[in-house]
């Protein structure tokens, strides 16, 4: 018999309090045990109903979503999935919520009619399941620094070695933790597929760039793969790499979703395997599902070093587990040790000629 996941929906919109339960309960193993129109009602309902997972709107009267999240995290330790407005302001608030301890987020469709709400059904149900499972595995909390890094304009050399990273649930904080430890003169170029909706990745890249010594930007077609540059694949695109005599570049495309995702880690990993072979490192980090596992296997066969994050430090041990179980991960590394592993294994090759950015 399936374990029923008890869920509380918190949203100030009467329409959303009607639609979200319909979406959530379309999966028989999830039950909406209550709804609340603001944070004060939500805290009372949590005391009374003791849900396993909470979905939370951030824009509410009286006690807003951010304060509600702080109270839930401090008092109850129940995983929270933020249901975010699909706006720049909504994206900024969402990243603050993730930093405050939210498990993950889904973006509301721009038109919240029931027909459009189907767009988030699969995503929301999958994340509720993963959030419920995450309560069973205690993990070390990530300590993040929010200090803005002062950067000087500099010439960055072309990178000989490429690091490809696939990551999903738990990714924003985990990536910030790792990238903030890399020095400005990091010798490799990093290309990242983070499962994230369109409209969120640009702000995410900017936030990372502010707190990291390496340069971080949302990828565009034609971006050079430079030492010390990190490219984040945009939401709703795939990214591949192309190695050319004068310079290697990132290429975006609108191909069909892979493993249910766009962006997907597999197209990136397959292209890195074909173009860079042993001059590359593949990394699968925290995330649901199996995206990137087969691509990591292709990288290993091409001579790349392949790394998977360990279970204890993964928010969700899905993507790394799939690669480990198939024998594709040559090393299993904790989040604490990831930055050091990337530095040590990137230093083997020296970058080529300098290029001004």
Annotated catalytic residues are 168, 195, 291
Q: Specify whether the CB–CB gap between 342 and 182 falls below 8 A.
A: yes
273-302 b/e (C-beta count within 10 Å ≥ 16 → b):
bebbeebbbbbbbbbbbbbbbbbbbbbbeb
* Cα–Cα distance for residue pair 46/76, rounded to 1 Å: 8
CA 195 to chain centre: 5
Identify each DSSP E strand in 198-314 by its residue range: 215-218, 229-232, 238-242, 249-253, 280-284, 305-309
Strand (E) or helix (H) holding 33: strand 30-36
Helix axes 39-49, 65-75, angle to 10 degrees: 30
* Cα–Cα distance for residue pair 317/170, rounded to 1 Å: 10
DSSP state of 354: E
* Cα–Cα distance for residue pair 119/56, rounded to 1 Å: 18
Burial-class residue 345 by CB neighbours within 10 Å (0-12, 13-18, 19+).
middle
Alpha helices in the chain (DSSP H): 14-24, 39-49, 65-75, 88-99, 114-117, 121-134, 171-179, 201-211, 265-276, 293-301, 319-325, 335-346
Helix axes 293-301, 265-276, angle to 10 degrees: 10
């Amino acid at each position: 018999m399936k374990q029923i996941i008890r869920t509380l929906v918190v949203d100030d919109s009467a329409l959303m309090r009607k639609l979200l339960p319909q979406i959530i309960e379309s999966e028989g193993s999830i039950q909406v045990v209550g709804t609340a129109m603001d944070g004060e009602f939500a805290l009372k309902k949590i005391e009374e109903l003791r849900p396993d997972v909470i979905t939370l709107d951030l824009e509410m009267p009286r006690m807003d979503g951010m304060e509600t999240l702080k109270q839930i995290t401090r008092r109850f330790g129940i995983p929270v999935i933020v249901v975010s407005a699909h706006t720049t302001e909504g994206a900024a608030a969402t990243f603050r919520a993730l930093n405050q301890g939210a498990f993950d987020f889904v973006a509301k469709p721009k038109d919240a009619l029931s027909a459009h709400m189907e767009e988030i059904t699969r995503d929301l149900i999958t994340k509720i399941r993963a959030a419920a499972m995450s309560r069973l595995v205690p993990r070390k909390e990530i300590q993040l620094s929010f200090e803005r890094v002062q950067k000087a304009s500099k010439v960055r050399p072309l990178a000989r070695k490429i690091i490809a990273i696939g990551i999903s649930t738990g990714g924003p904080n985990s990536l910030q933790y790792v990238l903030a430890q890399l020095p400005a003169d990091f010798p490799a170029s990093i290309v990242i597929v983070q499962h994230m909706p369109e409209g969120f990745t640009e702000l995410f890249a900017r936030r990372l760039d502010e707190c990291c010594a390496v340069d971080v930007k949302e990828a565009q077609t034609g971006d050079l793969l430079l030492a010390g540059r990190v490219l984040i694949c945009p939401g709703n695109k795939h990214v591949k790499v192309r190695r050319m005599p004068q310079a290697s570049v990132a290429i975006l495309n609108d191909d069909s979703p892979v493993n249910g995702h766009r962006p997907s880690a597999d197209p990136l990993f397959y292209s890195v395997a074909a173009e860079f072979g042993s001059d590359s490192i593949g990394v699968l980090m925290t995330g649901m599902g199996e995206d990137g596992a087969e691509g990591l296997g292709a990288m290993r066969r091409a001579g790349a070093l392949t790394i998977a994050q360990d279970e204890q430090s993964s928010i969700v041990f899905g993507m790394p587990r799939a690669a480990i179980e198939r024998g594709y991960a040559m090393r299993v590394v904790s989040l604490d040790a990831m930055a050091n592993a990337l530095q040590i294994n990137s230093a083997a090759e020296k970058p080529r000629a300098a290029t001004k950015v």
